[in-house]
């Protein structure tokens, strides 16, 4: 009887352990997406609205079982991201099977700021390739990306301002043997489809009439995004991610609205601060 009781207790513990393991497996994310980048990708608190980064809203286009770990930080370049220990911290978080989007360039080009600057065909390209190689060696999947376009127009066309940084982001991806998303060109094409005047709502443009406490006199910022701009850029990125990360049902196949944006972009923007 005692032996039977002991066996019964052991069996009960085994079943409990199995149930706990099953629950943990069910709760575990199918995939994790980490983001290394700058202010165009970063998360912002609601008091910074309407400024927002594409990394804060990209989950709208991802499957529910994908967890986004956004480690993008304002003002960082590949150099300062390394020097401040942020890359090492990201690598400590990295788990085999993780995906990592790596997008820098806005601040690497700051030759007036030596703590940020990296020559496009020198430190910048080397750092981008090294980032990708480190992720791959740790069992992750690296995706290198050129920086999103600035809102600079000449007549009916936008100007590509990232030049050699865009080029060398692609070269770094080729060197490391990883996927490359040319967000610089993709975002130019997207914003040109919307139009010069209309894209003011995609970027951080506030008139004195729409000013907030942070910008009481308004602001004309052609680098950072509002909710609708961030969602449009996030859509461009998500369309090019591996299929097992993306929730295709959230891509509206209907015709774009009158401003040239896909119908799902305003829906994403409406949820940006939820």
Q: What is the pLDDT of residues 115-167, one digit of tens each?
A: 999 999 999 999 999 999 999 999 999 999 999 999 999 988 999 999 999 99
- Which domains, from first to last, does the chain contain? 30-270 (3.40.50.1110)
> What is d(CA 40, CA 173) in angstroms, rounded to the nearest whole number?
20
Output the six-digit token pair for 145.
């990306």
Helix or strand or coil: residue 179?
Answer: strand
Q: Please give the pLDDT value at position 258.
A: 67
Sign of the dihedral through C-alpha 28, 31, 33, 34: positive
Q: Residue 137 belongs to what H/E stretch?
A: helix 125-137
> How much is the pLDDT for 1?
45
How confident is the model at residue 9, as a pLDDT? 44
Supply the pLDDT for residue 151: 96
Residues 6+ apart with CB under 8 A from 151: 158, 191, 199, 200, 202, 203, 222, 223
Supply the pLDDT for residue 255.
64
In the chain, DSSP finds a helix count (H) and a strand count (E) of 9, 9
Residues involved in catalysis: 39, 220, 224
What pLDDT score was predicted for residue 42? 98
State the alpha helices, DSSP H only, in the chain. 2-27, 54-57, 78-83, 86-93, 125-137, 163-176, 183-194, 227-238, 264-270
| pLDDT at site 23 | 46
Residue 13: the pLDDT is 46
Residues 6+ apart with CB under 8 A from 266: 228, 231, 257
Instruction: List, for the chain, all residue ranges whose pLDDT scores fall below the cut of 50.
Output: 1-4, 6-7, 9-11, 13, 19, 22-25
- In this prediction, residue 157 carries a pLDDT of 93
pLDDT, residue 10, reads 45
Rounded to whole angstroms, the maximal C-alpha distance in the chain is 90
pLDDT at 20: 53
Asked whether the beta carbons of 228 and 202 are under 8 A apart, the reply is yes
């Amino acid at each position: 009887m005692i032996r039977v009781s002991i066996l019964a207790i052991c069996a009960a513990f085994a079943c409990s352990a199995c149930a706990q393991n099953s629950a943990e497996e069910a709760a575990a994310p199918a995939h994790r997406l980490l983001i290394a980048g700058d202010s165009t990708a970063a998360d912002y608190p609601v008091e910074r609205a309407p400024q927002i980064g594409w990394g804060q809203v990209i989950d709208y286009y991802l499957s529910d079982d994908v967890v986004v770990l956004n480690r993008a930080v304002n003002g960082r370049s590949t150099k300062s991201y390394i020097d401040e220990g942020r890359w090492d911290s990201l690598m400590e978080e990295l788990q085999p099977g993780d995906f990592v989007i790596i997008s820098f360039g806005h601040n690497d080009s700051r030759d007036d700021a030596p703590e940020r600057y990296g020559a496009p065909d020198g430190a910048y390209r080397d750092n981008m390739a090294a980032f990708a190689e480190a992720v791959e060696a740790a069992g992750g999947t690296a995706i290198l990306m050129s920086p999103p376009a600035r809102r600079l127009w000449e007549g009916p066309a936008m100007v590509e301002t990232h030049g050699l940084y865009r080029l060398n982001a692609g070269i770094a991806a080729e060197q490391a043997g990883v996927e490359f998303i040319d967000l610089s060109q993709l975002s130019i094409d997207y914003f040109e489809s919307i139009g010069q005047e209309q894209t003011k709502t995609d970027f951080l443009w506030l008139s004195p009439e729409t000013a907030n406490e942070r910008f009481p006199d308004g602001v004309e910022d052609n680098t950072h995004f509002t909710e609708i701009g961030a969602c449009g850029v996030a859509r461009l990125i998500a369309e090019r991610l591996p299929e097992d990360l993306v929730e295709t049902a959230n891509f509206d196949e209907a015709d774009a609205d009158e401003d040239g944006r896909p119908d799902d972009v305003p829906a994403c923007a409406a949820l940006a601060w939820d």
